[in-house]
Amino acid sequence: MAVRFDQDRLGRLRDTVAVVGVGETDYGADYRGAGGKAMGKGEARVDHYTLASRALKRALDDAGLTKDDIDGLCTGPTLSSERACELWGMNPGWSGSGDAAQCIIEATMAINAGLCTTVALVYGNAQRSMNTAYGGARVTGGGITSYFYYAPWGLTSQGALYALFFQRHKLLYGTTEEQLGAIAVAFRKHACMNPNAVMQKPLTIEDYMNAPYVAEPLRLFDYCLINDGGVAIIVRRADMAKDLKHKPVMVSAIGWSEENVDATQLRPRLKDFYHTAHHGVAAQVYPMAGLTPKDVDVFATYDSFSVHLLASLEGFGFCKEGEGGPFVQDGRIEIGGELPCNTSGGMLSESYMQSWNHQPELVRQLRGGLGQRQVKGAEVAQYVHDVAGKCKSIIYTRQ
């Protein structure tokens, strides 16, 4: 397929937008106090909007801005923008919706188009309270684009799709379950350095190997949490981002590439490991930022399942295809290692905020001062979103 992006135009957006505020709810308390668990299944004490509102307030405080400074809004998939704006008393000049990376990309475009200057990106999800299920008979109404299509054969859940993915990786490359386990162990180690992470109990490789399989070859600790929480991020036109509470963190590159052909058959997953999409995004973000994978100090990937990290490290060129297994071992992806990954604990151990939680973490790593969790001298942070054929990436830098 022909080149679909214009590097010259893309390059002009480099460092034009800055992250000026981040905030999230108290994930641990949200988890322990999940309304549904306390009050009976399905009866939420908090809802998506409660959690989103709390995070928004914290992000505004972190930026030193008020809601009246906000003229653009991007909401996560659980929120209706109309209701959110009503709750928060906002009449934005532009609004959008999507996953975290999508919202950052769209806000960057909207700001550069001149539609707005200061965008709040807000996410809230009371999925634990609401007893959300990601597999099985309760996921009904699944049409052709859903794994539920294969229910007559017993296939269900995203986890099973990633189990098929990892099994294929094992078959082709000899990747071992112990190697995969190194990912969950590393992320847990990071969570234990993060007071806001849900999971605070250390996890050894023995614990990992002794845990039950869910969809073999994936075990319990390869799966993300299901928990409540909210996240908000404030981005602003870079020339208006000075003299706020924190030194701004720049959005230095954005990239987006999709791989949907034969998706329902699982071809992009099983025959390509989504690498075509990864390569498409890599070709955008590294030239745009004027950087290479070697320059990345902190890395985070969408980790609803541990396997995502193998795929993105290989696809973005941190190691060769098929060598993700050996790469993630020996502390290489841990804080203090060559490429610290998902330093907050990620969605496996910090909070399943559908990747929104990774953004504040990367921003804070670049601001510095995270204590034992701090990646020393972090100047470049990359986020990779790699879900169901939609690959996006953001590179943040400290100026």
Partner 1 sequence: MATARPIRSMDPYAEQFWTYTLKKELRLQKCSDCGKFRWPPGPTCDKCLSEEAEWAPVSGRGKVLSWTTFRRKYFDEYPAPHTTIVLELDEGPLFVSYPVDVAVEDLRESMVLSLRWTDGQDKFGEYNLPVFGPPSA
Judged by CB under 8 A, does residue 267 bind partner 1? yes
d(CA 166, CA 226): 21
- Interacting span for partner 1 (CB under 8 A) from 154-162, 238-246, 307-315, 349-357: 154-162
CB 306 within 8 A of CB 184: yes
HSE at residue 38, side-chain half, CA atoms within 13 A, is 10
Does residue 249 sit in helix, strand or coil?
strand
How many positions of this chain bind partner 1 (CB under 8 A)?
41
Active-site option among 27, 286, 352, 383: 352
Q: Does 80 bind partner 1 (CB under 8 A)?
A: no
Residue 302 among the catalytic residues: yes
CA 37 remoteness from chain centre: 26
Instruction: Please tell me whether residue 157 binds partner 1 under the rule CB under 8 A.
Output: yes
Q: Which residue has the tokens 């910090």?
A: 350
Residue 344 found at the interface with partner 1 (CB under 8 A):
no
Question: Over the Cα atoms of the chain, what is R_g?
Answer: 20
Based on the shown chain and the rule CB under 8 A, indicate whether residue 131 belongs to the binding site for partner 1: no
Containing 359, the helix (H) or strand (E) segment is helix 358-367
Select from 309, 301, 297 the least CA-distant residue to 397: 297
Q: How far is the CB of 141 from partner 1 (least distance, A)?
A: 8
Binding status of residue 140 toward partner 1 by CB under 8 A = yes
Nearer to partner 1, 46 or 163 (CB): 163
Residue closer to partner 1 by CB (options 174, 195) is 174
Quick check: 151 binds partner 1 (CB under 8 A)?
yes
Q: Is 148 in the site for partner 1 (CB under 8 A)?
A: yes
CA atoms within 13 A on the CB side of 26: 6
Token code pair at residue 103 = 């919202």
Q: How far is the CB of 140 from partner 1 (least distance, A)?
A: 7
- CB neighbours of residue 208 within 10 Å: 22
Residue 173 as a binder of partner 1 (CB under 8 A): the answer is no
194 counts as binding partner 1 under rule CB under 8 A: no
Residue number, 85 or 226, with CB nearest to partner 1: 226
Restricted to residues 196-255, the positions that interact with partner 1 (CB under 8 A) are 212-218
- The answer to whether residue 264 forms part of the interface with partner 1 (CB under 8 A) is yes
| Selected range binding partner 1 among 83-91, 257-265, 284-292, 339-347, rule: CB under 8 A | 257-265
Nearer to partner 1, 80 or 145 (CB): 145
- Choose among 299, 258, 288: nearest CA to 391: 258
Residue pair 300/381 in contact (Cβ under 8 Å)? The answer is: yes
SS3 readout for 81-141: HHHHHHHHCCCCCEEEECCHHHHHHHHHHHHHHCCCCEEEEEEEEECCCCCCCCCCCCCCC
Which residues, other chains included, contact 79 with Cβ-Cβ below 8 Å and sequence gap of 6+? Answer: 48, 49, 52, 97, 122, 123, 124
The one segment of 159-167, 229-237, 250-258, 305-313 that binds partner 1 by CB under 8 A: 159-167
Query: Of 123, 173, 286, 302, which one is the catalytic site residue?
Result: 302
To partner 1, the closest distance from the beta carbon of 234 in angstroms equals 40
195 binds partner 1 (CB under 8 A): no
- Quote the least distance from Cβ 147 to partner 1, whole Å: 9
Contact with partner 1 (CB under 8 A) among 21, 72, 92, 135: 135
Strand blocks (E) in 2-93: 17-24, 72-75
* Residue 291 to residue 398: CA distance in whole angstroms: 13
In the complex with partner 1, which residue's Cβ is closer, 12 or 271? 271
Q: How far is the CB of 326 from partner 1 (least distance, A)?
A: 20
Residue 181 as a binder of partner 1 (CB under 8 A): the answer is no
Q: Are 261 and 288 in contact (CB under 8 A)?
A: no
Answer yes or no: 213 catalytic. Answer: no
- The site for partner 1 (CB under 8 A) is made up of 135-137, 140, 142-144, 146, 148-157, 160, 163-165, 167-168, 171-172, 212-218, 261-262, 264-267, 270-271
Q: Which residues are catalytic?
A: 302, 352
